[in-house]
């Protein structure tokens, strides 16, 4: 029976879970809040951010494709040469739902499917195709699977390229933008979502500063909040918003001071907050609830004030002229970003679930998994269906985004090869790897010509050679992909950083602290990529300032750091992963 | 305990009853023969007897020539795949570059022979046939040597570091595929241009450009028949080489069991380099002999790479059977040419249809075990 009390209890349980969700996903929330903030900075006219938004949208779409590919290759060890069929089917289905003229009369009824629903139907079709691939192929191992999938993909490609009245032939189909993307309420929905994420970000920072009562917490938070305010100052439309956000930051410092004065460093010391029931009672309502909410409120008001003009301009743009391209780019960015977030969370939960463990068990040793009672056939089919649905979603998002699709760009074998490359470059069996890999490749594809032409003075035709050289360098120096290899190398540095002590306080970076560098890195990359000459000096200024401070700190504390590093590396001996440690042990063995 | 009801499954039933299996197999063969005869009869009905003979013989000759060519290329791919466990995505690009190398070396040799300042001019004089034959042999050998050097260099400097990491090898070879394709496009233009020897040659003469004419439309280009014999000769040489020479035996043994060969005192790393050179050289040779027929084209890389994959899988060569590449190449080459004469709209996908059927019936390919 559902009654009011159970509903209230469930809601309460959800609300009580929010702080733990916030503090368990710090990096993700920080970077996502930043990404959701970006389109708010686009003004109504031409804006330099818009080109970058277009590029990031493309990267995210191919990131989705690569994630679905990695679900097969990295998790289930299924090398699928026909992956492009899933993508292309999604793209063409989306094309047919957007315009009734593409299909002959009895079939053009699918054009009646409204836009966001057609995304879901496309996912179902992709899942169905994945199911067919799975039915015919999953009983076979390795190569046979890859090649029957390739055969299916080639069938579909040839079907579409032979029937040029269906597929548009070489010129392709030119698609209209879905009507929903051009409406303001749809945009406002995403703006609200963006503010939810930003509130989550500010709340996460407040929670962080509440827990991290050492001075390093304050240093790290100010490292983030100062550039954040600077960014608002540059991309916002007025001064008052950033000032409000800065006031919120000052409030955080106040909050931190209050918390620090109350915190007890010794856990064994008796505290008035503790009772025998084991529950920790809040010290008082003011510092636990009121102050954080005031801080979040001030920050959100600041954000609304600084971007209010832009949002109003976008809405007026919709009222004036419905067919403008400027309008659709931020909306599509939001749409793709939201899809990417949902898929990311889904894949993360899937891999951590018992089913995900089963998939890995089947991939590692099929006979053993079957002997333990798992149905490997069904597991593979389910993975193929899920991955097919995600790939079709990527295709369905790609079609209205790129607006012209033809068989060779959405169904050619090259797409499979590039999805494979994105996955491998980013690192297989990692969550962020495929997205990063597609970012690296798509960005280089569009900018390598300029680099080679103006940077190196070589003819611009050589860009594909440059891409090949880049792949070879990546594979020689990072054989497990960007995320995989840096993760392995990073572990040794991380161990050293966690053991570092400066003067009185531990300069220990904990696992929870890396969100700062994630967010700073995202900001830095964004500022460097913005093709506006006005942004670059500011970026260089902010990061130069931070770098100088860091350098001065290093200079002042160099002896301490060096001695800590030395003593900590002595303790690191047992860790076999460290690169330096391996060489040292080899030298020691020679003696 | 709950009783588990046994479901009826045709696969289990066939496994339990060998008699039924035998009957089913015979019925399948008979059905296939009947279908084949019926389709032949239908083709005769459509094209009339003479037209059918012309088409069938032409497609047979072309198909055999194409399959020999594919066999030459794929045997290189198979050697690299079988011994080094490297899926060489750059093999199609090697093949394509071999074609351009053959084309360039042929023209350069001809120019040298025609230069009055050099002694060759007096040796050949006006003997265009000898000049063309020599230039062709030089071009084939030169393309082989150049591609062998490139392949060996790639193995020695890069792939050698990445054995045991198949994912990284894929990325690496795809990188080389991009580089080689783009370099070829810079020098020789995009895939819209095909280069043939005849219009580009200075003396406008190629030694086997003639046609066998048996009358009644039965005309075969001599070069394609020559290709069949060339392919058979190289295949025979390779079979003999694998059976008789020391290094061939080592390669064969290495494909079976690498650790054992290493333990018996063979330098397996050197063997890997040699095999890479051999494989790339075979790709170069097949590319060079393709030029007088289909031409050198910078778009060949990806097309022939996919054919190579298909042939290896269809023939079952991925289970380490060298004969597999031969049968796979025969199936693919013949089916492409026969359908291009009889059922033109299936030309692009017949290979994949046949591959799907074969893999569903025998997941291990024609010669592999299931």
The residue of A82, A142, A147, A477 whose CB has the most chain B CBs within 10 angstroms, and thus the best one to mutate to test that interface, is: A147
pLDDT above 80: residue A501: no
Query: Per mean pLDDT, which of A402-406, A458-462, B215-219 is the most reliable?
Result: A402-406
**B246: closest CA of chain A, how far (Å):** 31
In 3D space, the residue among A564, A551, A588 whose CA is nearest the CA of residue A509 turns out to be A564
Residue of higher predicted confidence among B243 and B149: B149
E strand or H helix at B219: strand B219-221
Q: pLDDT class for B196, splitting at 50, 70, 90? A: confident
Mean pLDDT for B238-257 is 86
Mean pLDDT for B169-191 is 87
CB-based contact, A111 to chain B, within 8 Å: no
pLDDT at A276: 54
pLDDT at A22: 83
CB atoms within 10 A of CB B13: 11
In 3D space, the residue among B228, B257, B258, B253 whose CA is nearest the CA of residue B242 turns out to be B253
Phi, psi of A168 (to 5 degrees): 85, -5
pLDDT above 50: residue A393: yes
SS3 A268: coil
Mean pLDDT for A502-515 is 58
Structure tokens at B9: 């499954």
User: B359 vs A414: CB contact, 8 Å cut-off?
Assistant: no
**B55: closest CA of chain A, how far (Å):** 24
Predicted-complex ipTM score: 0.74
pLDDT at A89: 93
Q: pLDDT class for A556, splitting at 50, 70, 90? A: low
Taking the CA atoms of A174, A180, A184 and A187 in sequence, report the sign of the dihedral they define: negative
Phi, psi of A76 (to 5 degrees): -105, 5
Q: How far apart are CA B354 and CA B339, in angstroms?
A: 12
What HEC string does A388-427 produce? HHHHHHHHHHHHHHHCEECHHHHHCHHHHHHHHHHHHHHC
Residue of higher predicted confidence among A223 and B337: B337
pLDDT at B314: 85
SS3 B4: coil
CB-based contact, A170 to chain B, within 8 Å: no
The residue of A151, A423, A469, A480 whose CB has the most chain B CBs within 10 angstroms, and thus the best one to mutate to test that interface, is: A151
CB-based contact, B125 to chain A, within 8 Å: no
pLDDT at A579: 41
Q: How far apart are CA A99 and CA A108, in angstroms?
A: 8
Mean pLDDT for A149-162 is 86
**B295: closest CA of chain A, how far (Å):** 23
Contacts of A158 in chain B (CB under 8 A): 348-349
Mean pLDDT of chain A: 80
Phi, psi of B4 (to 5 degrees): -95, 120
pLDDT above 50: residue A505: no
Task: Write the burial class of residue B326 (CB in 10 Å: 0-12 exposed, 13-18 middle, 19+ buried).
Answer: buried
Digit-coded pLDDT (tens) for A264-280: 545 555 555 555 555 55
pLDDT above 80: residue A195: yes
Q: pLDDT class for A209, splitting at 50, 70, 90? A: confident
Q: pLDDT class for A387, splitting at 50, 70, 90? A: very high
Residue of higher predicted confidence among A331 and A526: A331
Give the residue on A whose Cα is nearest the Cα of B159.
Answer: A476
Mean pLDDT for A356-368 is 89
pLDDT at B155: 92
User: A475 vs B318: CB contact, 8 Å cut-off?
Assistant: no
Task: Give the percent of chain B with pLDDT over 90.
Answer: 20
Structure tokens at A449: 């010509």
Task: Indicate the DSSP class of residue B213.
Answer: E
> Which residue pairs from A156-159 have beta carbons closer than 8 angstroms and sit at least 24 positions apart in sequence?
A156/A85, A156/A88, A156/A89, A156/A411, A157/A84, A157/A85, A157/A88, A157/A407, A157/A411, A157/A412, A157/A413, A158/B348, A158/B349
Q: Are strands B194-195 and A505-506 parallel, antiparallel or unpaired?
A: unpaired
CB-based contact, B183 to chain A, within 8 Å: yes
Domain spans, chain A: 4-263+283-431+510-552
CB-based contact, A296 to chain B, within 8 Å: no
Taking the CA atoms of A15, A19, A24 and A27 in sequence, report the sign of the dihedral they define: positive
Q: How far apart are CA B100 and CA A558, in angstroms?
A: 60
Mean pLDDT for A228-235 is 80
Mean pLDDT for B97-125 is 85
Task: Give the percent of chain A with pLDDT over 70.
Answer: 78
Mean pLDDT of chain B: 84
pLDDT above 70: residue B1: no
CB-based contact, B361 to chain A, within 8 Å: no
Q: pLDDT class for A292, splitting at 50, 70, 90? A: confident
pLDDT at A354: 93
Mean pLDDT for A453-478 is 82
pLDDT at A478: 85
pLDDT at B91: 93
Mean pLDDT for A11-22 is 85
Least confident of A205-219, A311-325, B67-81: A311-325
């Amino acid at each position: 029976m559902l009654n009011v009390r159970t509903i209230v209890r469930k809601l309460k349980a959800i609300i009580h879970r929010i702080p733990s969700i916030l503090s368990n996903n710090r990096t993700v929330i920080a970077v996502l809040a930043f990404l959701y903030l970006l389109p708010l900075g686009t003004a109504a006219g031409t804006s330099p951010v818009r080109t970058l938004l277009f590029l990031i949208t493309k990267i995210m779409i191919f990131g989705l494709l690569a994630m679905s590919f990695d679900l097969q290759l990295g998790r289930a060890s299924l090398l699928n040469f026909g992956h492009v069929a899933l993508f292309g089917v999604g793209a063409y289905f989306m094309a047919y739902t957007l315009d009734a003229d593409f299909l002959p009369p009895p079939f053009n009824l699918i054009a009646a499917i409204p836009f966001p629903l057609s995304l879901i139907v496309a996912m179902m079709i992709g899942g169905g195709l994945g199911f067919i691939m799975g039915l015919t192929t999953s009983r076979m191992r390795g190569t046979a699977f890859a090649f029957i999938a390739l055969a299916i993909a080639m069938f579909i490609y040839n079907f579409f390229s032979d029937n040029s009245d269906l597929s548009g032939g070489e010129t392709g189909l030119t698609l209209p933008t879905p009507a929903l993307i051009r409406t303001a309420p749809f945009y406002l929905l995403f703006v609200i979502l963006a503010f939810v994420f930003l509130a989550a970000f500010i709340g996460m920072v407040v929670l962080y500063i509440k827990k991290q009562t050492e001075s390093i917490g304050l240093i790290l938070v100010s490292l983030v909040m100062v550039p954040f305010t600077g960014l608002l100052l540059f991309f916002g439309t007025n001064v008052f918003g950033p000032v409000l956000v800065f006031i919120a930051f000052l409030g955080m410092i106040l909050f931190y001071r209050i918390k620090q004065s109350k915190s007890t460093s010794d856990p064994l010391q008796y505290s008035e907050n503790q009772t025998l029931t084991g529950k920790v009672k809040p010290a008082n309502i003011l510092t636990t609830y009121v102050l954080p909410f005031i801080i979040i409120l001030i920050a959100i008001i600041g954000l609304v004030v600084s971007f209010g003009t832009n949002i109003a301009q976008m809405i007026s743009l919709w009222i004036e002229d419905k067919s403008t391209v400027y309008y659709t780019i931020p909306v599509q960015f939001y749409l793709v970003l939201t899809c990417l977030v949902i898929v990311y969370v889904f894949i993360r939960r899937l891999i951590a679930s018992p089913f995900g463990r089963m998939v890995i068990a089947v991939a590692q040793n099929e006979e053993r998994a079957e002997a333990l009672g798992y149905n490997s056939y069904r597991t593979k089919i389910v993975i193929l269906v899920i991955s097919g649905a995600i790939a079709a979603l990527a295709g369905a998002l790609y079609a209205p985004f790129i607006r012209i699709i033809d068989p060779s760009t959405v169904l050619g074998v090259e797409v499979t090869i590039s999805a494979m490359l994105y996955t491998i470059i980013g690192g297989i069996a990692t969550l962020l790897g495929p997205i990063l890999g597609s970012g690296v490749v798509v960005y280089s594809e569009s900018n390598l010509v300029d680099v080679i032409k103006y940077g190196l003075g070589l003819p611009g035709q050589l860009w594909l050679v440059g891409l090949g050289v880049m792949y070879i360098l990546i594979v020689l120096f990072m054989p497990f992909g960007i995320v995989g290899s840096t993760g392995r190398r990073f572990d040794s540095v991380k161990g050293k950083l966690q053991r570092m002590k400066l003067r009185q306080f531990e300069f220990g970076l904990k696992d929870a602290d890396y969100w700062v560098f994630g967010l700073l890195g995202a900001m830095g990359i964004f500022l460097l990529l913005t093709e506006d000459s006005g942004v670059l000096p500011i970026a260089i200024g902010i990061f130069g300032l931070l770098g100088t401070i860091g350098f001065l700190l290093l200079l002042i504390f160099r002896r301490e750091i060096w001695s800590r590093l030395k003593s900590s590396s002595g303790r690191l001996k047992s860790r076999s992963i460290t690169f330096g440690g391996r060489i040292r042990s080899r030298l020691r063995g020679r003696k | 305990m709950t009783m588990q009801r046994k479901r009826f499954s045709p696969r289990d039933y066939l496994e339990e009853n060998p008699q039924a299996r035998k009957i089913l197999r015979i019925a399948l063969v008979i059905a296939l023969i009947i279908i084949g005869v019926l389709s032949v009869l239908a083709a005769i009905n459509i094209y009339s007897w003479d037209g059918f003979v012309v088409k069938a013989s032409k497609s047979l000759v072309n198909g055999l020539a194409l399959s020999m060519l594919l066999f030459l290329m794929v045997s290189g791919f198979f050697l690299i795949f079988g011994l080094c466990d490297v899926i060489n995505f750059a093999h199609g690009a090697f093949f394509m570059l071999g074609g351009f190398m053959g084309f360039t070396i042929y023209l350069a040799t001809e120019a040298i022979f025609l230069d009055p300042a050099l002694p060759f001019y007096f040796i050949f004089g006006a003997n265009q046939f000898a000049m063309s034959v020599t230039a062709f042999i030089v071009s084939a050998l030169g393309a082989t040597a150049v591609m062998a050097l490139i392949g060996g260099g790639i193995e020695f400097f890069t792939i050698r570091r990445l054995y045991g990491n198949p994912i990284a090898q894929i990325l690496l070879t795809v990188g080389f595929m991009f580089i080689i394709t783009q370099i070829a496009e810079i020098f020789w233009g995009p895939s819209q241009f095909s280069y043939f020897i005849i219009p580009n040659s200075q003396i406008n003469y190629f030694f086997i450009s003639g046609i066998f004419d048996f009358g009644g439309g039965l005309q075969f280009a001599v070069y394609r028949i020559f290709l069949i014999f060339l392919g058979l000769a190289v295949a025979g040489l390779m079979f003999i080489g694998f059976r008789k020479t020391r290094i061939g035996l080592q390669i064969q043994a290495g494909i079976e069991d690498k650790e054992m060969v290493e333990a018996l005192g063979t330098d397996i790393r050197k063997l890997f380099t040699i095999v890479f050179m051999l494989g790339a050289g075979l790709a170069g040779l097949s590319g060079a002999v393709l030029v007088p027929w289909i031409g050198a084209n910078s778009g060949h890389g990806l097309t022939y790479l996919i054919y190579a994959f298909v042939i290896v899988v269809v023939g079952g060569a991925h289970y380490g059977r060298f004969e597999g590449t031969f049968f796979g190449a025969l199936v693919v080459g013949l089916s492409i040419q026969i359908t291009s004469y009889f059922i033109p709209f299936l030309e692009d996908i017949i290979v994949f249809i046949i591959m799907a059927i074969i893999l569903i019936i025998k997941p291990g390919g024609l010669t592999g075990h299931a």
